[in-house]
Structure 1
């Protein structure tokens, strides 16, 4: 086992975190990650209401007695989400860990801390991480340019962003964006992180609710098969390259598309439905560049066991063999 501040914070065996992916991060996946020795995060705004979130929290507990958390992504341009209700449900349900993301978490961190909830804030810039630390976050997840979904607008890859953050932060760091195996875990630790936060890799597991046709399609993708939509609006999102996302990029280049026009093509409603139906051209699926490193659909237990086995082999055999005694 690799033990450090992240494993001690969460009370887990392995420094591996399943990120709170919208639509994908549901109870069966979260419970399976916890049972395998990592920690999973439910997606709060996947649930239609605060009461639905309470039921999903109860569902995790029915499947596992291991630690888990809830992701609270506060979308600055979205309406219809009962964020205050989600926060109340999290605190009253006795959830011990929250991953905040999106907008500034200042409004909620105090409430979580009062309820004894540890807060991990996901961010895409060192300055945002420092702000989260000053607000009382217990850890940060640093999302590099390689990540699925929103990488920010500064295009800083994890190879630079992780050590830059580690040099300035006192709280522990999770490396996010571009991680799928034991090689990535060891690299993240070497760069100054104390664990990895993985989304795309956990999307391609047996317990993930994504349609089998989508999973098989992603297995065939390479590291070149993602693109950024929304860049012209300062709201970049990394998604799978397909007819829908390519059309969105063309629209941005030729006409200067509005937010509403892009939403009609790449909005969450479309890709969430496609995740469920298996329609390969049904939306712009959030996927990280790391999809090009994934070639199987294991169970969460098989995945985490494999990551840790590979990490141990690197630490005990490959790296020591490079040292000239």
Structure 2
């Protein structure tokens, strides 16, 4: 047992990221039932949909679970109200100032974790009173830090600056990757891309197949003048890249992005025009497996690799 296991009351310090268009109650409950921490991704949900998913996960598991809330969400007040009403035990916040809601959530007895991309933001999160931080490196899928700090550099930088537990994220999909993160000072890992390639993820099958086909170099950080996001290269990415190469400003990029681009790609399966958010570690994913099998495989490989290293 380490501090992450104790904080969340889970068997394995493996956290499934709250990814948009992927992390509904089915995926989150499967991970929680397997001994990790399943998280519902509220970023792609209307408030009434989030309530439905919270109520369904309570029926599907008696284990701890969480909700990820992007603090820039337009209806954030409604989401927080639902989380409080439904007595969600754990909340991961991202994309915003942790000072805004941490006090409110903790006053209700909720464990709070904030996602950061630098040691400076980790220190600010600790000062805001969060229970732990997710240090997410540049390799991660979805929205990312502008600094492009890799996980290998970020984790020791953050652990040197804060006293609260650090959860590593970005480029982790295997037990060996988990062990490397622990060697750098992390006490848990948050994994996104690997859990998208599961039957329980709500993403479209076309998107899951694209993840299996991805190789090194097939994802790139894009839209840095708006909100940086790592994408699989496709026609939409090519449009953005051409515009950025021509010096497009944020207004032009916003027009290209349009509305519902992520839903079009990841949920509806349009691999040409959609926004396909996934991490670099997609290059290591070759099979769609049940979420419980993913948790077991990661933990078994972690233990085997740890024992192997003790022989050196």
TM-score tier by shorter-chain length is over 0.9
Matched, 1:292 2:283: yes
Of 231, 238, 247, 1:246 maps to 238
For each residue in 1:212-242, what CA deviation from the matched residue of structure 2 results, as whole angstroms up to 9, or x when unmatched? 12211210111210112112x1632111111
SS of alignment partner, residue 92 of structure 2: strand
1:98 partner SS: strand
Alpha-carbon distance change, 177 to 191 in structure 1, aligned in 2, over 3 angstroms: same
The structure 1 residue matched to 2:68, chosen from 71, 82, 85, is 71
**Gap runs ≥5 in structure 2:** none
Does the residue aligned with 1:42 lie in a helix, a strand or coil? strand
Moved more, 276-285 or 196-205: 276-285
Give per-residue Cα distances to partners, 1:50-81, cap 9 Å, x unaligned: x3322210011111111101111022xx6xx2
Q: Provide the secondary structure at the position in 1 that maps to 2:67.
A: strand
2:311 matches 1:321? yes
Q: Tell me, yes or no, if the aligned pair for 1:245 and 1:266 is still in contact at 8 Å.
A: no
TM alignment of 1:1-325, pairs within 5 A: 3-49=1-47, 51-75=48-72, 81-231=74-224, 233=225, 235-254=227-246, 256-266=247-257, 269-316=260-307, 318-322=308-312
Deviations 1:234-277 (A, max 9, x none): 632111111111220111111x3243432344456122123233
The answer on whether the counterparts of 1:145 and 1:151 sit within 8 Å (CA) in structure 2 is yes
Listed one character per residue, the Cα deviations across residues 134-174 of structure 1 (whole Å, up to 9, x for unaligned) are 01000000010111122212111110110011111100000
Judged with a 3 Å threshold, the aligned counterparts in structure 2 of structure 1 residues 268 and 172 are, in CA distance, closer, same or farther, namely farther
* Separation (CA, whole Å) in 1 of partners of 2:50 and 2:63: 18
Paired with 1:262 and 1:234, the residues of 2 have a C-alpha distance of 8
- Structure 1: give runs of 5+ residues left out of the alignment: none
Q: Indicate the larger mover: 65-74 or 144-153.
A: 144-153
90-99 vs 268-277, greater mean Cα deviation = 268-277
Give the match's secondary structure for 1:155. coil
TM-score (norm 1): 0.92
